[in-house]
Amino acid sequence: MRHNLGMAALLASLQSSSSKATKDEVDTVIEQVKQLAGEHGMDDESLCKGYELALGGLLDTDQSLRILPQLIPHTALPLDPVLLTTSVLGQSTASLPPRAGQVAYAVQRRALEQLAVLLELGAVGREGLEALDRLYGAVEQGLRYRILREPTAGLLCLITRKHHVQPHRVARVRSLLLDDPPPSTSLARLLDLYRSSEVGHVRQTRKHAAAAPDGLPSSLEAWKMRVSEVLDGSGVDGELEEGHRVKRRKHSHQVPLPDSAILTSSTASPHLADLSSLAKLAEHLDKVVLPTHAASVLSAGAGPTRRSRPPTEADWVRSWAFLPRSGYDHDSEHLSQLSHWIISRLEHELYDLEPTKAGHARVEDLLSRVRDICELGGEVVEALEPFLNTFLANWDGERHRDVIFQLVALLKPRAWADLEQSVLGKLRKLAGTASVDWVAALVDCLSALVRNLAVRDNWHLQATVTTAFGRLDADGQYLASLESFLEFTDEVILSATARHPTSLVLRSAALGFYESTLLLPLELDLPVIVLPSPIFTYLCLLSNELMSVSRICGIIARLRDALVGAESAIVKRWQDDPRGPQSSAIESLNARLVTLVGALWMRRFLATDASMGLSSDVLDKLRSRSEERGQQVASSMGLTAHSALALLAQDCLSVLATQDGKSAESLVGPVTTTALKQLAKDPAAFHISFNEFRPRFVEYLEERGAKGLASCLFSSLSSLVERRKSSIGGT
């Protein structure tokens, strides 16, 4: 180390005379230090004296800032520079007179930045690392000063360990982020570390913690490259393992490499691909043909070692997404790392930063990734549920609506009180004033949740069950919770349809929900069911499109199978108790069947005994209103007079007439008994009775997709039941 001979003496001389030395004298010594330290760095003694000079308050600010970049360690930074850097932080030294103890904030900032770079490169000795661990509280005092906040936070990111994470520190950093426009990148990263109570589980290497997106200032980046070259030449590795410095394997220069000109000569030489063993490679090393670029690399000087790229967020998400597929066997550490990473990122974006369009896009992207992970396990990650509860408590109903609904649909079974208080209560409140499209999306979400819950096979718990991302307890009363959830959704639908009675999108979503609930007793052995309310049933019956009429009829028909069918879970559950809760449901269902069949087939719409419990006053008002309009109330909802079916009945009659080689063009008005009798007076026209036409019309509708309507009528009327049996027997 002949380049460093005399370094200590030069710095000692400068230190002893700096208070009296002229500017030219100081500049001369600084230039000498720069020339001597530039290539190989400085030994420990010289480095300590250099730091004492730069941070001792004996020089002007610009002179100290010129000395600090020259203080490059040959191997690893000793303890004294670390202690000196941490001891000068703050106002106590910055407020002293110049050249009489003052260490300006700019000098403190540069010293912190250099210490962070050396930590990142693994160039701080063991004693220095242990001192930083003990002096964590002293270092964090730099957060009090705006000019020191960014480098202090960056340094804390590098030295934070699990035992440093305390609630008051989390609160302090959060308040600084809110009060510090624009937000500090390093502060945000520091809060991410603080938020995770599992910091010790994920090894905080320097590179992982220091992966700041904004990079370093150009002058500091150049200094970092210069230090890296010196350290590579001295054999100090750039990696730390659990806070310990690791020596790089020394390079051997005993075997000279052949000159690049020989390696790239045009003489006949074996090709590299032909050398199949190390022995052959050694034998022909001086003759083997290498590409010109490879040969030049062999003869080039050693450069800085390329360090591995820190894993990005996308890398972490991809690795976690494959956990359920790779048999992680409910590894709690995997789950805790996943959960804490997700929660810290989301809380940082939502609560620590000012809302921006770019921030909303990042949250949307992260929530979408979370949803994809949860879908792999079939349920929301258990540790994410408290975050989701908190988010919903302050949710406006619009931000990230679709992905939030998709996450709600993946909730696993919970006790009803918990589910209502944490999730459904807020959704009910939002639905009370939301648009019809929003409520329809909510009903679709609740239907998806029913389907997700329905496919589970652990409802009859005998012991605690471990699920993909959590657990179910044996005493959870999840079946009662599911039944309450069905009633809740029915109430939401009733309230929404009362406010938006003509909305087709809402009606379609509600019908989808009731269809989903039929799976529970009929296919999944769960003895729970919910009936559409009378008001909703009437709205579907009175609609002017076939979809609503047919689907509500199909739901009512299948509900009969659910309540009285031999294979229904409800029948099996209450077969020994004919007065069980299913008895009142059967009574309500019969009222709906009588109403639908009476209106469509019997032409008895709003009859007293076919009104689903409507009071006589309401029935009288409806009848009088219809009579004022000149309408025949009883037959207005008949199969061939219904506004959604009348034109289809005429089309059906035309098809039947064509098949018979006749015409029905002389038909006047809807297809009724009177109209068909009038049509029969024309010898060239198609002749068919009304009683014969209606069954064929129902079959016509069934062929065109109205299977619910056909199922309801063919299973409710004895004449149609016999017709169906005879047609099946005939085939």
Which residue do the tokens 């037959």 mark? Answer: 635
Q: What is the pLDDT of residue 155?
A: 93
Query: Bigger pLDDT: 161 or 260?
Result: 161
- The pLDDT mean for the chain works out to 77
| Rounded Cα–Cα distance for residues 448 and 405 (Å) | 9
Query: What confidence tens digit (pLDDT) does each residue in 614-667 have?
Result: 777 877 777 777 676 666 777 778 898 898 999 999 999 999 999 988 888 888
Confidence check: pLDDT of 522 > 80 = yes
Query: Bigger pLDDT: 280 or 309?
Result: 280
Residue 318: both structure tokens together: 């991809």
Q: What is the pLDDT of residue 326?
A: 39
- For 385, counting Cβ atoms within 10 Å of its Cβ (0-12 exposed, 13-18 middle, 19+ buried), the class is buried
Q: What is the pLDDT of residue 251?
A: 37
Query: DSSP assignment of 411-426, as one string?
Result: PPP--HHHHIIIIIHH
Q: State mean pLDDT over 181-195.
A: 78
Q: State mean pLDDT over 600-610.
A: 79
Query: What confidence tens digit (pLDDT) does each residue in 105-125 have?
Result: 999 999 999 999 999 888 898
Q: State mean pLDDT over 468-472.
A: 72
- For 682, counting Cβ atoms within 10 Å of its Cβ (0-12 exposed, 13-18 middle, 19+ buried), the class is middle
Q: What is the pLDDT of residue 259?
A: 39
Query: Bigger pLDDT: 115 or 461?
Result: 115
| Rounded Cα–Cα distance for residues 139 and 85 (Å) | 9
Confidence check: pLDDT of 599 > 70 = yes
Q: pLDDT-based confidence at 602, cuts 50/70/90?
A: confident
Largest CA-CA distance found in the chain, in angstroms, rounded = 132
Confidence check: pLDDT of 497 > 80 = yes
**This model's pTM is above 0.75:** no
| Rounded Cα–Cα distance for residues 600 and 716 (Å) | 12
Give the phi and the psi of residue 672 in degrees, each rounded to 5: -130, 175
Residue 590: both structure tokens together: 């019969």
Q: CA-CA distances (angstroms) from residue 587 to 556, 583, 598?
A: 13, 6, 16
Please confirm whether the linkage preceding 311 is cis (ω < 30° from 0). Answer: no
When mean pLDDT is compared over 271-280, 287-296, 539-548, 715-724, the highest value belongs to: 539-548
Torsion of CA 544, 546, 547, 552, to 10 degrees: 90
Q: State mean pLDDT over 168-194.
A: 79
| Rounded Cα–Cα distance for residues 399 and 430 (Å) | 13
- The alpha-carbon radius of gyration of the chain (Å, integer) is 41
Q: State mean pLDDT over 63-69.
A: 88
Query: What confidence tens digit (pLDDT) does each residue in 28-60 have?
Result: 767 766 776 667 788 888 888 888 888 888 788
The partner residues of 465 in beta bridges, in order of sequence, read 472
- The 3-class SS string of 455-483 reads CCCCCCCCCCEECCCCEECCCCCHHHHHH
CB 104 within 8 A of CB 94: yes
| Rounded Cα–Cα distance for residues 116 and 122 (Å) | 10
Query: What confidence tens digit (pLDDT) does each residue in 278-292 have?
Result: 455 555 545 555 444
| Rounded Cα–Cα distance for residues 174 and 179 (Å) | 9
In this structure, of 384-393, 432-441, 506-515, the range with the lowest mean pLDDT score is 384-393
Q: What is the pLDDT of residue 202?
A: 35
Q: What is the pLDDT of residue 292?
A: 40
Q: What is the pLDDT of residue 405?
A: 96
Query: Bigger pLDDT: 420 or 313?
Result: 420
Q: What is the pLDDT of residue 248?
A: 40
Q: pLDDT-based confidence at 354, cuts 50/70/90?
A: confident
- For 708, counting Cβ atoms within 10 Å of its Cβ (0-12 exposed, 13-18 middle, 19+ buried), the class is buried
Query: DSSP assignment of 19-70, as one string?
Result: TT--HHHHHHHHHHHHHHHTTT-B-HHHHHHHHHHHTTT-S-HHHHHHHGGG
